[in-house]
Amino acid sequence: MATRLRSVLSKHANKAAAAVAATTATSAAAVTLLSDDVVHPLHLPWDHTGLLSSYDCASLRRGFQVYRQVCATCHSLERIHYRELVGVTHSTDELVEMASEVDVVDGPNDEGEMFERPGKLTDPLPSPYANEEAGRAANGGALPPDLSLMVKARHSGQDYLFSLLTGYCDAPAGKPMMPGLYYNPYFPGGAIAMPPPLNDGGVDYEDGTPATISQQAKDVVQFLNWCAEPEADTRKKQAAQYMLVIGFTALMTGYYKRFKWSPYKTRAITYVK
């Protein structure tokens, strides 16, 4: 992925250079480019988007680690339950232990009281804030959205998320930035309330993969893609099976038709007076 990513990036750099050359030639094109308040994300060659390709489980495991250690401070992932991660990122025992570290409010009990108990596999992942207002209050008025379906909720889903996470840079001269907002050209308007979440070496991957910003972004985006579409692998496998069966049925139907029709098609009719 890394080498393919690099080749796409260098191709894009050439395109960008060509675009700059073209815009200096035609001012109309320059106006169109500049009047857009957002940079469109690169199209990246994700490993899991092919018809016959599946998610990279090692990457999903690393992505879940990035989510838990970085994004979970601010973002919930409320549609995902621990049990759904079994066999995808971790084993049952690892997840039972991970879930039991969280205190979940349950109840009411026989006396009508709510009580806390250790988490179970059937619990959803814990949310960082009790409610929307608490989330806004902790983030200068901006609510960190739930990430479960985020890949589906934005144009160019995973490409946008990758570009957003890796695209923070200094605001260009003349762009006023309000306090508490950060410049990110991929976010519509350019000013986002999310501080740059990823740092080189920000997490310690247990498989020894170097935790660069782009590696963490790739892993967490692939993980969020799985969250939005956990059934993708099964769906592709079943589609391949259906296509095989349908292809075989089509062949057999063709053969059957020819077999049945062959006496009629090959007979010679002669009329004798």
How big is the chain, counted in residues?
Answer: 273
Query: Does residue 144 touch ligand HEC according to CB under 6 A?
Result: yes
Q: Which stretch binds ligand HEC (CB under 6 A): 32-40, 76-84, 114-122, 159-167?
A: 159-167
Query: Does residue 42 touch ligand HEC according to CB under 6 A?
Result: no
Q: Which of 86, 154, 171, 233 binds ligand HEC (CB under 6 A)?
A: 154
Cis peptide before 45 (omega within 30 of 0): no
Beta carbon nearer to ligand HEC, 56 or 219: 219
CA–CA dist 188, 210 (Å, integer): 31
Applying the rule CB under 6 A, the residues between 175 and 204 that interact with ligand HEC are 187, 192-195, 197-198
Query: Does residue 150 touch ligand HEC according to CB under 6 A?
Result: yes
Beta carbon nearer to ligand HEC, 95 or 150: 150
Beta carbon nearer to ligand HEC, 19 or 129: 129
Q: Which stretch binds ligand HEC (CB under 6 A): 37-45, 96-104, 139-147, 264-272?
A: 139-147
Q: How far is the CB of 144 from ligand HEC (least distance, A)?
A: 4
Beta carbon nearer to ligand HEC, 23 or 139: 139
Query: Does residue 75 touch ligand HEC according to CB under 6 A?
Result: yes
Query: Does residue 80 touch ligand HEC according to CB under 6 A?
Result: no
Beta carbon nearer to ligand HEC, 82 or 186: 186
CA–CA dist 139, 195 (Å, integer): 10
**Of residues 89, 4, 12, the one with CA closest to residue 46:** 4
Q: Are 39 and 76 in contact (CB under 8 A)?
A: no
For residue 57, say whether it is annotated as part of any ligand binding site. Answer: no
For residue 194, say whether it is annotated as part of any ligand binding site. Answer: yes
CA–CA dist 263, 226 (Å, integer): 55
Q: Are 89 and 64 in contact (CB under 8 A)?
A: yes
Applying the rule CB under 6 A, the residues between 212 and 241 that interact with ligand HEC are 220
**Residues that contact ligand HEC, how many (by CB under 6 A):** 23
Q: Which stretch binds ligand HEC (CB under 6 A): 39-47, 68-76, 228-236, 242-250?
A: 68-76
Using CB under 6 A as the criterion, which residues of the chain lie in contact with ligand HEC when the complex forms?
Answer: 66, 70-71, 73-75, 139, 142, 144-145, 150, 154, 161, 164-165, 187, 192-195, 197-198, 220
The annotation places the binding site for heme c at: 71, 74-75, 194
